[in-house]
Structure 1
Amino acid sequence: MTDTGGMVLSAPMAGWAMPLADVPDAVFAQGMMGSGVAIDPVDGVLHAPCDATVTSIHAARHAVALTTDDGAELLLHIGIDSVAMGGEGFEALVAPATRVAAGTPLIRFDLDLLARRASATATPVLVVGEGFVATPIATGRIVAIGEPLLSITRVADTAAPAPSANGNAGRWESLTVALPHGLHARPAARIAAAVRGRDAVVTLVCGDRRASALSMTGLLGIGAVHGAHVSIEAQGADADAVTAAIVDILTATSEPDSAPPPPPARPRIAVAELEPGVIAGVGAVPGVAIGTVRWLRAAEIVAPPGSGNSAAERDALARGLDRLRAELEGGHGVMAAHRAMLEDPDLLMAFDTAVADGRGAAEAALSVTRAQAAALAANSDPRLAERADDLRDIGQRLASAILGTTPEAFTVCGDEILLADDLLPSQLAALVGMPAGIAIVRGGPTSHVAIMAAARGIPMVVALGQAVADLTDGATLIVDGDAGTVHLAPDDAALTRARTRIATSAEAIRVAREGADGRPATTSDGHEIAVCVNLGDAIEAAAAIADGAEGCGLLRTELLFLDRPTPPTRDEQAATYRAIATAMAGRPLTIRLLDIGGDKPAPYLAIPAEENPALGLRGIRVALAHPDVLEAQVAAILDAADAGPVKIMVPMVASLAEVMAVRAVVDRLRGDRQVSIGAMVETPAAAIAADLIAQACDFLSIGTNDLTQYALAMDRGNAAVAGGIDGLHPAVLRLIAATCEGAARHKVPVGVCGGMAADPLAAPILIGLGVVSLSVPPARVVATRALVAGLSHAAARAHAATAQTLTSAAEVRALARAFAQGNAA
């Protein structure tokens, strides 16, 4: 065959481009229909891949045939076995004989319906007929609409010779099409295969339309539906045999190839091996930092033995408590939490008992907090396990206050990486200077220290293990909070790559901050994604608004309830909520109802100890079990509605009944005050039943941390399995997709307020799955707005569709890194 010129077809839809061999149908996979590629789509419109004329549209509207200006015949076939849908969910946007330009919408289709009803959504894009051959340009990756997809080359004339004159005058046959779905792609391919290479010229006639048996596009365009009358006209020595074969195909009452095909071949993403010198940990705060090691090795406090005078030791303990309370007075965030924990009557009683047993005051402070911290660290409820560091920290600070010592100031520079075996909140708060990044031998990604680092925008990697224990001060490190790695002794190439990433990110953040003028964050192709902030108090609100936060997607209220002998009053709560609503300056404030539970987190609730608190009385179950507490909080939130728009978010929902119970309380108390009600999707039950729960909600918000641990049956507080917990696991992504799909049936928006919202590798996938708002820590607002601005929504949908087909979180992260690098290029 001789090349005589060619042209390029562009992708008619966004999605994963695959070789025809991967299509789960032998007719397409074996090239019986023609050459080309297939696309697994992520949106519901098929576009023209080039300038062409519409030859025909199948009666089921799932396939369209085109003829290019060069005479090449094209077939675009949406889905596999989609003809069985009978046209449901398909809308033809053009008519036969219409002249179309590249990019013209041809068919609109319901992708969700196609996914449920067809055996596969793979859409072959084919060159059919004689005289042209197609060569794939893009396969095994995501393509966007209009991206080069196929190269079509004209080949030398290979037309079959005229039928021989051997006395055979020809054959004529009439029949009624018995195929259940009429003449569509699969039987058309078998008819063409029966004729190709035989000594016969065959034409099929249906009404006033005629087509050569060798023309795929022609056969699909004659309208030979089930029950139609078709005539076969054949000439040549093989006319009888070919006609008989065609009759058998068209009069069959079932299709031998219509049985459900095997699952489509999924794209395999190679999980790259770590480079030499790269150590894997767990990313706690996104971002990249370069610096030299600066070890923080805090000296252990040595408490003197008891004096034997219990009264004197009690006095020393009381003075130490007063001194520490004064130090913490007026603090917010973690420091306010520590101040509240010092009022825990159980903790104070334990101190007093230890002193009565002969321990010194400082020794009692250390021994009691260490013992309670060890018990909390072993708790299956991650919220409680994460408080272990706080208790150790309180013990250290209280012992120092009792002994009258002041921890030596620790100075760190902006070009240094802070390295520690573990890091306490007070140690981070007391630093003089700000490090470029933080690397921790132990620790967890959801600890208070991680939250504090995120608020300061310091890239952080935790759980690195002993691989970094032998590093010395002055060694160069790259901390990659996005990938969860540190690079030891990086070479010049690695340093250059890291500096480029840092500079690119800084420029994107600068542009985003300049554009933080109240406008919503918008993708490069015009889709609005709300970027909100997670708050703990009013102090953080002003800075977040200046950075462009469009509202608060999560206000945690637990600190008002924990570590105190009585619940906060309605007025006390209302004052707190009103102050934050005022600070939000008219932007919506989403207040999560009390979300505690487990091993006696609040003495006044008298929740019994449970063998598995994570599956016990927690979240909204606690509030519903204590209606007085629920009503007081709801009333306080409603009282704050005069300061700005507020929303009520119900935590740990597992059923519609729970939301309805809360809504009944709100409706009874609201009067003429307006408030939206939403549910947190943190359980697989809520994700799968999102279409049911959404009936009673104005919005849904996904808590990805808990959703991940429940979906994977891995406790975030258990070091033995914590390394396997990753929200980018395909199972978690599918639950998020199910949530978005279920909520969409009731036009209920879905946001994410969990850790994945702030993960730059996860956020594009979340947006592609249908999430319309991301609520992130204050320090991530600008960076997230920048990420959204640099993202194509169409590309994100294609990316998310591919991510769901992979087999592990590691594969998804590899794909996400490649996607991020492609966006940055």
Structure 2
Amino acid sequence: MHNNNKELTLSAPLSGPVLTLAKVPDPVFASGAMGDGIAIDPLNDTLHSPCAGVVVHVARTGHAVTLRADNGAELLLHLGLDTVELQGEGFSMLVKEGARVSNGQPLLRYDLDKVAQQCKSLVSLMILTNSQDFQARPITLKSVKVGDPLLHIIRRQGSGAQAEVELSGEERVGHVRVAHRGGLHARPAALIRQTAQGFKSTSQLHFDGKSATCNSLIGLMGLAIGEQDDVQVTCQGPDAEAALQALLIALSTALAEDSHAAAPPPMNRHHREAEAGVLHGACAAPGLVGGPLFRLSAISLPVDAGHHDPAQQLQALDAALSVVRSEIDHTLSQAKKHRNTDEEAIFAAHLALLEDPALLDAAQASIEQGTAATHAWSQSIEAQCEVLQQLGSPLLAERANDLRDLKQRVLRALLGEAWHYDVPAGAIVAAHELTPSDLLQLSQQGVTGLCMAEGGATSHVAILARGKGLPCLVALGAALLDQEQGQAVVLDAEGGRLELVPTNERLAEVHQAQLDHQQRRALQQSQAHTPALTRDGVHIEVAANVASSAEAADALANGADGVGLLRTEFLFVDRHTAPDEQEQSLAYQAVLDAMGDKPVIIRTIDVGGDKQLDYLPLPVEANPVLGLRGIRLAQLRPEILDQQLRALLHTRPLSRCRILLPMVTEVDELLHIRQRLDALCIELGVSERPELGVMIEVPAAALLAEQLAEHADFLSIGTNDLSQYTLAMDRDHAGLASRVDAMHPALLRLIAQTCAGAAVHDRWVGVCGALASDPLATPVLIGLGVSELSVSPVQIGEIKDRVRHLDAAQCRRISHDLLKLSSAGAVRHACHQHWPLS
């Protein structure tokens, strides 16, 4: 007799990087429908037994084998995804059904190259098929070698003991098989809870020796009910029969297909093989730094001395919950408006969690004993997260993240502005995705670098990170969040790499590079106020992108030759009425005053797309980025632009005020506004005309640059939008962020065409998009004919220094050859060869 209750440790059946099931690019495995387990992307050609046991099944096509371990756990070992379609070709099974095998014994061999070429993915799985009786807990999520300990298998409490339910008065009992993909995770559980709430009777689910009331979302998820599991439903009360029937239907009717259940395909295998211990992402802000990695998961609370007035604390918690509820309601209505059903379902589950009795009762009980609302809420959420994570299901562990998200939001509402993250200075911060307010908070706390699992390289957070000089990587993938707290890492933002296991030598080398960089920055700053001339005497104006007079003052102090882009949206957003002419005029004048005697380029309002105004309801658009944006909005609501132009014409001296029009696609738009400006000048008795420029951010404008330059005083290229419109890739799309690169030869051709068109009419061309701030691009832009670069204020010294080390004639010769290259990667590589970054 074997001891059925002993804990079993499974060893790795293959060598390679380990993935949680949630990351497997197959919805059935990823949802946990087959059972709990783990996956490996194999680097070897033989599958070994993870434990001693008996072979209970061998797949006809030789790609999978099922073992029963001596403690009764049944394990499916499945090599590759969709490998059944190879019909056994490339596989040789080394064991027969019924055979007894020892731990580590080879079970099957396969032809690595042949199978890799023909199947969807080599990612292989070890699945606990009787997860109802056992639970799997991962020991490691790093790379493993055959034989390394990989999973603990633990017998579930009460498994096998049938729950006995006492039937009484009005109780009704039913049995049903659960049809929801992945079982009762948050969204199906929210549906069950909602169904039960429609009746007066109390309802419970019973599964695997445990019970939960249908009123508690967390209780329901805590039962760890899988797809196709049989559950018992009991209802007691006046409408018990109706409640029972409704719940049986809700449990046996699957939700619409989970469109986001399919994980993204794994990265190119060989690329990752060569890069063990490295995560790849997109560079949002450049820099090379080393330091401890800290995951942002929780707001740290001060120690609670207790003895608070319960009534006061309950009131505070209620108020905070209301604030968060209305925030989520807003998100929900936006999601409905944009028909974003995934988002809607997730936030509906968040709302349900906020009303969950399991959470609220626990928090209330603590508060009644004198605990502060902050600590009571925090502890009640953490207790529930613990429950979900103990279940060993990746899907339910992800639900714990939803709870933590709510913990943060409610704590922020309770603490007001008093909260801050407990992150040491010098840390590299890892997060799922940071908000602009997070970033501002963290930069004040002296963190060294930022990395995000999601996010786009041109998001507002990325713009802020560049402004603060904080290296930032985005789109690193969920593996980022599995890293240990405090481990030493190297963030090489330009290289798009996060090195997870750097040697001491590498850390020392990066530390020295940081010191050298600081000294070089100090030298650049000391020379930032002198003009930027190339070695052969070409003057390049280095201006700043700003959004307020305070930032303009900062830019002047940093050596800016002017403001290359003042975003006027800052006056219009986060308010309920439009700013009047006088308020606008004072704000623009303040920026002119802050810049001494330097020119200031002010862009007219550019809302629409991802920027909406409460007091300017725009029609709902299926594709807002291609809709009423920039100058198109001015045509729809001319009074807004008129008011802005009047405010600009009140500034003095007008010779230093230059007006820039966003999103222009044709000459008529420019001519129309030029006539409007002339009419307003006559009306206001202004004899001087401010210069009028056009933003080149739509491919049509770049292609018509010569015609536009005939009627404009200057052209300014917005590379962020020009990239997304040219490449047909949303710049905030996490999966595409790394490919929205303005160094793409197609973009460089549009820049070259813009400069050539402007030169015909002797107009100058500037660049105010993110590309202007990238020192690698400086020689290319100069070579293509750009004479003004508008960058974030902290980068002025660095970009001026870069200009001084270049020869403009050589830049021209080489840049035109770069237009013939085939990809952004090839262009960047050539730039590193010709103009290495010091």
| 2:644 pairs with 1:633 | yes
**TM-fit CA distance, 1:798:** 3.4
The answer as to 2:682 corresponding to 1:721 is no
1:675 to 690, 693, 703: 690
Change (3 A) 1:666 1:795: same
Q: Give me the identity figure in percent.
A: 39
Q: Distance in 1 between matches of 2:828 and 2:336?
A: 34
Q: What residue ranges of structure 1 are gaps of 5+ in the alignment?
A: 1-270, 302-311, 321-359, 381-391
1:446 shift after superposition: 2.5
Distance 1:509 1:378 in 2: 48
> 1 or 2 for the larger relative contact order (CA 8 Å, sep ≥6)?
1
Larger radius of gyration: 1
Match of 1:445 among 445, 457, 466: 457
After superposition, where does 1:252-263 map in structure 2 within 5 Å?
none
User: Which residue identity does 1:284 align to in structure 2?
Assistant: A
Partner residue of 1:783?
A: 798
Deviation at 1:813, TM superposition (A): 2.0
Shift in Å, 1:791: 2.3
- Equivalent residues in 2 for 1:691-706 (5 A)? 691-706=706-721
Aligned partners of 1:479 and 1:485 also within 8 Å:
yes
Corresponding residue SS for 1:805: coil
- Residues 597 and 564 (structure 1 numbering): CA distance in 2 closer, same or farther, change over 3 Å? same
Q: 1:792 aligns with which of 800, 807, 825?
A: 807
User: Which 10-residue stretch deviates more, 616-625 or 640-649?
Assistant: 640-649
The within-5 A match list for 1:442-521 is 442-491=454-503, 494-495=506-507, 498-499=510-511, 501-517=513-529, 519-521=530-532
1:408 to 1:622, Cα distance in 2 relative to 1, 3 A: closer
Cα displacement (A) at 1:430: 2.8
Q: CA deviation at 1:572?
A: 1.2
- The alignment partner of 1:723 has SS state of helix
* Mapped partners of 2:828, 2:425: distance in 1: 29
| Whole-Å separation in 1 of the counterparts to 2:518 and 2:274 | 26
SS at match of 1:284: strand
Q: After the TM superposition, which residues 399-410 of structure 1 pair with which residues of structure 2 at under 5 Å, given as runs?
A: 399-400=410-411, 403-404=414-415, 408-410=419-421
Matching residue of 2:332: 371
Q: Distance in 2 between matches of 1:378 and 1:820?
A: 47
Letter in 2 for 1:437: G
Instruction: Report 1:261-276 matches (<5 A).
Output: 275-276=275-276
Pair 1:814-2:797 in alignment = no
1:469: how far off?
2.5
Distance change >3 Å, CA 611–CA 769, structure 1 → 2? same
Deviations 1:416-453 (A, max 9, x none): 21222222223233336211211112222233322332
Show the counterpart of 1:732. 747
User: What is the distance in 2 between the residues matched to 1:810 and 1:531?
Assistant: 26
Structure 1 residues 482 and 273: CA distance shift in structure 2, 3 A:
farther
Report matched runs for 1:38-53 at 5 Å. Answer: none
1:309-351 C-alpha deviation (Å, 9 max, x unpaired): xxx999979977xxxxxxxxxxxxxxxxxxxxxxxxxxxxxxx
CA distance in 2, matches of 1:373, 1:817: 44
How far off is 1:647 after superposition? 0.5
1:296 aligns with 2:296: yes
Q: Which residue of 1 aligns with 2:33?
A: none
- Are the aligned partners of 2:766 and 2:790 in contact in 1 as well (CA < 8 Å)? yes
Q: Is the 8 A contact 1:531 1:774 kept in 2?
A: yes
Q: 1:796 to 1:638 in 2, by over 3 A?
A: same
Determine if contact 2:338/2:622 at 8 Å carries over to the other structure: no
- Taking the TM superposition and a 5 Å limit, the aligned residue runs for 1:318-717 are 361-371=322-332, 399-400=410-411, 403-404=414-415, 408-431=419-442, 433-491=445-503, 494-495=506-507, 498-499=510-511, 501-517=513-529, 519-598=530-609, 601-642=612-653, 645-670=656-681, 671-717=686-732
Q: Deviations over 1:766-794 (max 9, x none)?
A: 12211111111122222212222222223
The letter of the residue matching 2:722 is: L
Answer whether contact 2:453 2:478 (CA < 8 A) is retained.
yes
Q: Alpha-carbon deviation of 1:370?
A: 4.2
CA deviations 1:203-248 (Å, max 9, x no partner) are xxxxxxxxxxxxxxxxxxxxxxxxxxxxxxxxxxxxxxxxxxxxxx
Cα distance in 1 for partners of 2:494, 2:531 equals 25
- Secondary structure of 1:575's match? helix
Instruction: Kindly state the Cα deviation for residue 754 of structure 1 after the two structures are TM-superposed.
Output: 0.4
Q: Tell me, in whole angstroms, the C-alpha distance in 2 between the residues paired with 1:672 and 1:274.
A: 67
Q: Separation in 1 of the partners of 2:512 and 2:812?
A: 27
Q: Do 2:295 and 2:431's aligned partners in 1 also have CA atoms closer than 8 Å? A: yes
What are the superposed Cα offsets for residues 623-665 of structure 1, whole Å, 9 maximum, x if unpaired?
A: 1222211111011111123487110000011111111111111
Cα distance, 1:610 vs structure 2: 1.4
Q: Name the CA shift for 1:406/1:396 in 2 (closer, same or farther; >3 Å).
A: farther
CA–CA distance in structure 2, aligned partners of residues 634 and 314 of structure 1 = 52
Task: Find the residue that maps to 1:430 and give its secondary structure.
Answer: helix
Task: Give the distance between the partners of 1:459 and 1:694, measured in 2 at CA.
Answer: 37
Equivalent-residue separation in structure 2 for 1:459 and 1:559 (angstroms):
25
2:779 corresponds to: 764
Change in CA separation of 1:497 and 1:616 when aligned onto 2, cut-off 3 Å: same
Q: State the alpha-carbon separation in 2 of the partners of residues 532 and 814 from structure 1.
A: 27
The answer on whether the counterparts of 1:400 and 1:406 sit within 8 Å (CA) in structure 2 is no
Partner Cα separation in structure 1 for residue 335 and residue 825 of structure 2: 32
Instruction: Please state whether the residue corresponding to 2:482 is helix, strand or coil.
Output: coil
Number of the residue aligned with 1:195: none
Alpha carbons 1:758, 1:777 under 8 Å: kept: yes
Q: What residue identity is the alignment partner of 1:616?
A: G
Deviations 1:83-108 (A, max 9, x none): xxxxxxxxxxxxxxxxxxxxxxxxxx
**Correspondence for 1:357:** none
Cα pair distance change 1:661/1:524, threshold 3 Å: same
Native 8 Å contact 1:423 1:440 kept in 2: yes
Change (3 A) 1:734 1:395: farther
Q: Structure 2-normalised TM-score?
A: 0.54
Structure 2 residue runs without a partner (length 5+): 1-270, 302-311, 342-401
- CA-CA distance at 1:546 after TM superposition: 1.5
Distance 1:721 1:366, change over 3 A: same
| Partner Cα separation in structure 1 for residue 427 and residue 631 of structure 2 | 44
Residue type of the alignment partner of 2:295: W
Structure 1 CA distance, aligned partners of 2:745 and 2:431? 33
CA contact 1:443–1:463 (8 Å) conserved in 2: yes
Sort the Cα spacing of 1:439 and 1:529 in 2 relative to 1 into closer, same or farther, 3 A: same
1:470 deviation in Å? 2.4
User: Which amino acid letter does the alignment assign opposite residue 699 of structure 1?
Assistant: F
* Distance in 1 separating the partners of 2:647 and 2:426: 46
* In 2, Cα distance between equivalents of 1:547 and 1:607: 39
1:704–1:727 contact (8 Å) kept in structure 2: yes
CA contact (8 A) 2:292 2:487 kept: yes
AA matched with 2:473: V
Q: Report the residue type matching 2:811 in the other structure.
A: A
Deviation larger for 463-472 or 272-281: 272-281
Cα pair 1:362 1:403 within 8 Å, conserved: no
Counterpart code for 2:559: G
Aligned position for 1:139: none
| CA distance, structure 2, for counterparts of residue 745 and residue 794 of structure 1 | 19
Cα distance in 1 between the residues matched to 2:446 and 2:525: 21
Deviation at 1:682, TM superposition (A): 0.4
